Structure 1
Amino acid sequence: MRAIVVGAGIGGLAATLSLRRAGHEVTLVERTPRFAEVGAGIQLAPNATRVLRRLGVLDAVAAWAVRPARVCFRTWSDGTDVCSHLLGREVEEEFGAPYLLLHRADLHQVLAAAVPSGSVRLDTTVVGVDQDDGAAYVTTASGERLGADVVVAADGIRSAARQWLFGADEALFSHTAAYRALLPAAAVADLDLPELGVWMGPGRHFVHYWVRRGELLNTVAVFTAEAAQESWTARAEPGEQLCEFAGWDPRVLGVLERAGQVLRYGIHTRAPLARWNVGRVTLLGDSAHATVPFLAQGAAQAIMDAAVLGEVLTDAAPADVPAALDRYVHRRLATATSSQAGAARAGEDFHLPDGPAAEARDARMAAYAAGHRFMPQAAGWTADAGDGPTAPV
């Protein structure tokens, strides 16, 4: 069969590799003129890395990554340890794939390198999608009409294809924003920082972990906000992050103070859909289920989408596509929607005000850690290519 994938982000690249692995001819259409380094850190749990192994790219991805020994949860004001969970060798033995920390651009580069250049059309903007009984089509800004047996819209949180399929519906501001920065390892060598740390406080939380083989510290300082631009490149005002996190543990403030370029990113999401597909066209990744990042599952869920899409279309004939896409959505929608809801609840949990509610959260988390080696959401890591629930924190 012939497939067109719209959007060359992580989801679109993974979908391209998965469909090629299923034996199909794939054209990947991307509006930007070249692949560029964007974003910052990303966490990949075993549900995602297991798929990357199947796609033949895990070793190349792991070569850029850090494998943390554990994740530590701490209180905001003095860094008191609430609990920790194992993430290293024990996770790989239990779930059959590693937990990796890496720069988003490094993951993107590995995935892009695995797609033959002849299958990619850069600098090509899609302005419409339509279909008939025998094929689906995308129309480009230059007036071309490209046809295929299936069209996969992986065009991100601001998906135009989502509106073409299901009508107008805007990205939703989560009332949270994040300061993002990358610091050289030498700049924070004197600070007592765990490999992967989550600091919880009133209306805010702070996450840090190593990326790019440990050369850089990725930091994400999340705070409640009335409004914020959804942009990977908008810069914060000098010192703005220090004012927002005034009074936090000196180690957190030390990281924020030493950060050079700090980006201010408004966190948006999309309302869950009852379905992602119409006929021969389907959504994938953020276009279907963009989520807040508080379970670190956004990219993983897109990669899982790609795996299931490839499975349902393996050995499929053109006439089978609409029914196969129904199976894809049936297998993935509940899990992705559960992950969205769990991530939102995790953010609320991290941001509880000091007092009885936060004390109860800390006690609950500590009690869970005393009886379980792995985080609650690890229940979703056992799923093979998307079957099974994703538990909230």
Structure 2
Amino acid sequence: MRAIVVGAGIGGLAATLSLRRTGWDVTLVERTPHFTEVGAGIQLAPNATRVLRRLDVLDAVAAHAARPSHVSFRTWSDGAEICRYALGREAEEEFGAPYLLLHRADLHKALTAAVPPEAVHLNTTVVDITQDDDSAYVTTATGERLRADLVVAADGIRSAARQWLFGKDEAVFSGTAAYRALLPAEEVADLVLPPLAAWLGPDRHFVHYWVRRGELLNVVAVFSTEAVAQESWTARAEPGEQLSEFTGWDARVLKVLERAGQVFRYGIFTRPPLPRWNVGRVTLLGDSAHAMVPFQAQGAAQAILDAAVLGDALRNATPAEVPEALDHYACRRVSAATSMQARSAQAGRDFHLPDGPEAEARNTRMAAHAREHRFMPVATAWGTDALDRRTEG
């Protein structure tokens, strides 16, 4: 059984590992000439790290991670704590896997190291995907035509495969953009920051957490904007731009933003939900299927869950059974991923409520929930085992 995975991001790498574990011969094609992963921090909740353990990469990932004891939600103007939720050992004991904070490059490197080099075709741009009753075909920019029993399109938010399968469908600007930066720990040691925190304010929120075993502070400062912002991990902000966007915020927030050296600015885009991800022998996975705003820290996690279920659905499948197996994969994942898209969007709206009765009601609601529950509301998704076939829709 032969598969081609298009795209060597987190989802594509996880899909490659998942399929290989079930006995598939997998070719991973990637358009860049070298394995690279830009970006900065990433949060991996127990629903994702549980899968990484099954893929035998959790130890390699955890070796470079930070493990927060808790998450703190705070008000924008004075930093007063609204509520906090347990993470750390309590979450690992409850959900059977750790909550990790990472640099994206460290996660990408650990996944890459687990894929045999001979399975990877770098500097390979896919220009078309076609299929017939017996096989699927990937055509590259050099004219090469690769044949397989299955093609997995993990080609990201700007997925060409999505348009080939389902027609013209553009990524949608979310109305939010963000500044991001990484600061050495010694630059902010005097601020006594929580290990993971989200500061909530009108039309804005500010998130920070440690990565790379606590050596670096990852900062994401999100703001609402009507102007469509460039979707780029490498576009630099103008000097001091981030400070003007967060005027009047708590002094600790402003000090972090002031001390940030290299600051990047990027627009946050999503994809409209799809009722199905697969056609015949070809399926979408990860952001190509369900790109979401990052306000529940579940984007990468959902791609990793896709990969786990894909491998499970195709275990022991014959060539003739691939289309039906992909139906089962989509059946088990579409509803859950679409629900997380909606939850993430709602979280963004809640985080950005204006000062006054709405924000006060939100804070009261959050505090009341925290008194009754050790873990965040999104933690209801952490305990669900993606490989439990009872989750089939």
TM-score, L = length of structure 1? 0.98
1:72 corresponding residue in structure 2: 72
1:260 corresponding residue in structure 2: 261
Contact 1:134 1:319 survives alignment (8 Å): yes
Contact 1:332 1:386 survives alignment (8 Å): no
2: CA distance, partners of 1:96 / 1:291: 26
2:232 corresponding residue in structure 1: 231
2: CA distance, partners of 1:307 / 1:383: 13
The one-letter code sitting in structure 2 at the alignment partner of 1:59 is: D
Tell me how many residue pairs correspond in the alignment. Answer: 390
Residues 278-357 of structure 1: matches in 2 within 5 Å?
278-357=279-358
The one-letter code sitting in structure 2 at the alignment partner of 1:345 is: Q
Q: Against the structure 1 CA distance between its residues 163 and 258, is the aligned structure 2 distance closer, same or farther, given a 3 Å change threshold?
A: same
The one-letter code sitting in structure 2 at the alignment partner of 1:355 is: G
Contact 2:312 2:387 survives alignment (8 Å): no
Q: Against the structure 1 CA distance between its residues 389 and 334, is the aligned structure 2 distance closer, same or farther, given a 3 Å change threshold?
A: farther
2:246 corresponding residue in structure 1: 245
Residues 1-393 of structure 1: matches in 2 within 5 Å?
1-225=1-225, 226-385=227-386
1: CA distance, partners of 2:191 / 2:247: 18
1: CA distance, partners of 2:371 / 2:365: 10
2: CA distance, partners of 1:246 / 1:330: 46
The one-letter code sitting in structure 2 at the alignment partner of 1:316 is: A
Aligned-partner SS, 2:49:
helix
2: CA distance, partners of 1:143 / 1:173: 34
2: CA distance, partners of 1:167 / 1:387: 32
Report the alpha carbon displacement of residue 42 of structure 1 after superposing the two structures with TM: 0.1
CA displacement 1:138-157 (0-9 Å, x = unmatched): 00000011000000000000
2: CA distance, partners of 1:353 / 1:37: 36
Q: Against the structure 1 CA distance between its residues 372 and 283, is the aligned structure 2 distance closer, same or farther, given a 3 Å change threshold?
A: same
The one-letter code sitting in structure 1 at the alignment partner of 2:238 is: E
1: CA distance, partners of 2:48 / 2:319: 28
2: CA distance, partners of 1:84 / 1:271: 32
Report the alpha carbon displacement of residue 220 of structure 1 after superposing the two structures with TM: 0.2
CA displacement 1:171-221 (0-9 Å, x = unmatched): 000010000000000000000210000000000000000001111000000
1: CA distance, partners of 2:363 / 2:238: 33
Q: Which runs of 4+ in 1 moved over 2 A?
A: 386-390
2: CA distance, partners of 1:389 / 1:376: 22
Report the alpha carbon displacement of residue 388 of structure 1 after superposing the two structures with TM: 10
2: CA distance, partners of 1:213 / 1:359: 35
Report the alpha carbon displacement of residue 227 of structure 1 after superposing the two structures with TM: 1.5
Aligned-partner SS, 1:247:
coil
Contact 2:9 2:37 survives alignment (8 Å): no
Aligned-partner SS, 1:3:
strand
Contact 2:157 2:287 survives alignment (8 Å): yes
Q: Against the structure 1 CA distance between its residues 386 and 269, is the aligned structure 2 distance closer, same or farther, given a 3 Å change threshold?
A: farther
CA displacement 1:330-358 (0-9 Å, x = unmatched): 00000000000000000000000000000
- Structure 1 unaligned runs (5+)? none
CA displacement 1:1-45 (0-9 Å, x = unmatched): 000000000000000000000110000000000012411000000
Aligned-partner SS, 2:59:
helix
Aligned-partner SS, 2:331:
helix
Aligned-partner SS, 1:251:
helix
Aligned-partner SS, 1:190:
helix
Task: Give the share of equivalent positions with the same residue, in percent.
Answer: 76
Contact 2:67 2:88 survives alignment (8 Å): yes
TM-score, L = length of structure 2? 0.98
**Aligned-residue CA RMSD (Å):** 1.2
2: CA distance, partners of 1:355 / 1:22: 54
The one-letter code sitting in structure 2 at the alignment partner of 1:173 is: F
- Structure 2 unaligned runs (5+)? none
Aligned-partner SS, 1:85:
strand
The one-letter code sitting in structure 2 at the alignment partner of 1:234 is: A
2: CA distance, partners of 1:139 / 1:39: 29
Contact 1:380 1:388 survives alignment (8 Å): no
The one-letter code sitting in structure 2 at the alignment partner of 1:380 is: A
2: CA distance, partners of 1:342 / 1:240: 30
2: CA distance, partners of 1:348 / 1:133: 45
Contact 1:291 1:298 survives alignment (8 Å): yes
2: CA distance, partners of 1:77 / 1:362: 14
CA displacement 1:82-134 (0-9 Å, x = unmatched): 00000010100000000000000000000001000000000000000000000
The one-letter code sitting in structure 1 at the alignment partner of 2:360 is: E
Aligned-partner SS, 1:176:
strand
Aligned-partner SS, 1:331:
helix
